[in-house]
Structure 1
Amino acid sequence: MTYSPTTSADRTRSFPSVLSLLSYLLAGTFFGVVLVKSEAASWYRIQEMFRFQSFHMYGLIGSAVLTGMLTTGLLRRFQARALTGQTIHVQSKDPGLPRYVLGGLTFGLGWGLAGVCPGPIFTLLGSGVWAMLIVLLFALIGTWLYGVLRDHLPH
């Protein structure tokens, strides 16, 4: 390992500023409030979805997919730039049915067993649903397990 002295200007470019970190915290907090208010973090709504008893969650998921498609298309079309000035490059995904099926089944199984998507785990913890600590623990174990098995999985 070699040492190369850096200037103050180099360090400020390589580390995110407190202001940008605050913007991420505010955006995450806003997202958490939206999840709770839209009932996307509600165990009952999720169970209704899996039992095909309500359109509520399908509408939320569908609107998220449409928003993602529109945003990705706009980013590609207008060659948008990040706050740092770098061009945002959205990479195309390689086709591969086995990895999507395996990933979807694993994600869906965990979602069905826990009754919650991994997205609102912290939101639910912030709302006082302490049982989500168990879900968080197993989400971390699953992430670690993926890291261990990554080279043996279809990518």
Structure 2
Amino acid sequence: MNDTTTIKIKEINTDFEVRFLDHLSTEEQPLKETALSYLKYLLAGTAFGIILVKSEVISWFRIQEMFRLQSFHMYGLIGSAVITAIISVQLIKRFNIKTLGGEIIELPQKKFNKGQIYGGLLFGFGWALTGACPGPMFAQIGTGALVVVVTLLSALAGTWMYGLLREKLPH
């Protein structure tokens, strides 16, 4: 009896999958990182959270004002973030800027598909209904808005559901 295994090769679709598979395929030294080496990430996350709180990005009322077209505050913040990202990406491309670890930063071309429209609409409706975007959700919870835990659990359930149904969704 011949014992063979069939390997199903699927299309790699996310940046995370590409980085994860690349990590698996390279021979690296064993990790020698301690809890102290993660301190820089804790500090960066804390600083980012403080910025989110102070700029009122996590304010449910600010988010509702935005969706009701009653205030420019959130549009101004989002617009300045988009402009900063555009300038940053152009600088990375123009000067071949590398990561702190010396790795080349590659920005792969993305393919448009109609699922992005559906996903964007679903994301926007969820954001408008809950007053919580995935990034600031943790800052909202950190400030004591524990009702946002329900939104976080719902986002995790939606992510799990997407992974389950991904192959059956429109491309």
Pick the TM interval, shorter chain.
0.7 to 0.9
Q: What stretches of structure 1 move > 4 A for 4+ residues in a row?
A: 15-20
**For residue 89 of structure 2, what is the amino acid of its counterpart?**
T
Task: Select which of 86, 102, 105 maps to 2:118.
Answer: 102
Q: CA deviation at 1:25?
A: 1.6
Where do 1:34-45 residues align within 5 Å? Answer: 34-45=51-62
Measure, in 2, the Cα distance between the counterparts of 1:69 and 1:16. Answer: 33
Find the aligned partners of 1:31 and 1:59 in 2 and give their Cα distance.
18
Structure 1: state its 5+ residue gaps. Answer: 1-8
Q: Percent identity?
A: 53
**Letter paired with 2:111:** D
Q: Determine the structure 1 residue equivalent to 2:107.
A: 90
Aligned residues: 145
SS class of match (2:141): helix
Instruction: Quickly say closer, same or farther: Cα 1:16–1:107, change in 2 above 3 A.
Output: farther
How large is the Cα RMSD of the aligned pairs?
1.9
Q: Distance in 1 between matches of 2:93 and 2:166?
A: 29
Q: Which runs of 5+ in 2 are unaligned?
A: 1-27
Within-5 A mapping of 1:4-153: 10-12=29-31, 18=35, 21-96=38-113, 98-153=114-169
1:50-75 per-residue CA deviation (whole Å, 9 max, x = no partner) reads 00000000000101111111111111
Between the aligned partners of 1:128 and 1:105, the Cα distance in structure 2 is: 28
- Which one-letter code corresponds to 2:139 in the other structure? T
Shift of 1:29: 1.0
TM-score normalised by the chain length of structure 2: 0.78
Alpha-carbon distance in structure 2 between the residues aligned to 1:21 and 1:102: 37
Q: Distance in 2 between matches of 1:18 and 1:88?
A: 26
Letter in 1 for 2:122: T
Task: Indicate how the Cα distance of structure 1 residues 17 and 154 shifts in structure 2: closer, same or farther if over 3 A, else same.
Answer: farther
What is the rounded CA distance, in whole Å, between the counterparts of 2:40 and 2:150 in structure 1?
A: 29
Task: Measure, in 2, the Cα distance between the counterparts of 1:72 and 1:20.
Answer: 28
Q: Secondary structure at the match of 1:84?
A: coil
Residues 126-146 of structure 1 deviation map (CA, whole Å, 9 limit, x = unaligned): 111110110111011011011
Which residue identity does 2:143 align to in structure 1? Answer: S
Change in 2 beyond 3 A, CA 1:16/1:132: same
CA-to-aligned-CA distance 1:110-151 (integer Å, 9 cap, x gap): 101111111111111111111011011101101101111111
